[in-house]
Amino acid sequence: MTKSPDTPLKFLVFLGSARNSTPPKPPRLGLRVARACITEINQGIHVAELVDPLDYELAPSFKPHFAYAHGKAPTQLESLAASIASADGYIMVSPEYNHSMSPALAHLLNHFGSSLFSYKPSAIVTYSAGQWGGVRAAVGMRAFLSELGCLPVSAMVHIPKADEVLGEDGSFLGSADAQGWKQYFARTFTQLDWWASAARQQRAMSNSQAPVPAFTKAPSQRNTP
Ligand SMILES: Cc1cc2nc3c(=O)[nH]c(=O)nc-3n(C[C@H](O)[C@H](O)[C@H](O)COP(=O)(O)O)c2cc1C
């Protein structure tokens, strides 16, 4: 279905933490970061939905959505696949675990093929309890998200000592420079908004036909002859 230009843009906010343990404290610092993203992207214009890895019961043996016959994947995977396909862009919220992106986020995303994400932009938002804000995770996320087809916009959000910046409800704490943080988020989310609007128009013009078809059987379909 082609969306009219007036239909609000829909963004999925992927939360990259499934951690339910302390120490280190606090657990699931990412939840407040994801909530802040929803507030900052929304601004009463767009639709932003949280995707929480804890809501998905993924089988211990890995079988991605695209490995099932069409429409035959478990209900939760089908439902998330439909949501990814209907979104205009993605906000990927990740902590830094051992200088890398969240394994929970990578695992959830690996369940879906690039054709669902392609021709739409993404924004990288990282955080940490320490002083670097997850920048080392963000470097790897650029490559990951590019391969997934949802090219990350150039600006990124990094939040060091996120528990000193955000309260549990995702609002900026009184001790934080709320105005400065809002402007910082806005830089990335303005780029995301711009590219998401542009990509939606281009998808509508190409009648929802992907200019390059997704490979269907094996990655070798895109290799050199
Ligand atoms: C397994 C593990 C690895 C971590 N590695 C890093 C790291 O490389 N860099 C960093 O700044 N913080 C690291 N931390 C600390 C996290 O920034 C902190 O625990 C944060 O709260 C994690 O996000 P979460 O609470 O949403 O899971 C690590 C934490 C865990 C549990």
| pLDDT (tens digit per residue) in 70-87 | 999 999 999 999 999 999
Give the whole-number percent of the chain exceeding pLDDT 90. 82
pLDDT for 5 equals: 61
What digits encode the pLDDT tens for the residues 146-163?
999 999 999 999 999 999
Q: Please work out whether the CB of residue 68 comes within 6 Å of at least one atom of ligand 1.
A: no
Tokens at 29, concatenated: 């610092």
What digits encode the pLDDT tens for the residues 169-181?
999 999 999 999 9
**Residue whose CA is closest, atom 28 of ligand 1?**
97
Q: How far is the CA of 121 from the centre of ligand 1 (A)?
A: 26
Q: Please work out whether the CB of residue 54 comes within 6 Å of at least one atom of ligand 1.
A: no
Residue 50 is which amino acid? L
Q: Please work out whether the CB of residue 133 comes within 6 Å of at least one atom of ligand 1.
A: no
Tell me the CATH number for domain 10-222.
Answer: 3.40.50.360
pLDDT range class, residue 208, cuts 50, 70, 90: low
Q: Say whether pLDDT at 224 is over 90.
A: no
pLDDT for 83 equals: 98
Q: Give the end-to-end CA distance of the chain in Å, rounded to a whole number.
A: 35
Q: How far is the CA of 23 from the centre of ligand 1 (A)?
A: 10
Domain residue extents for the chain: 10-222
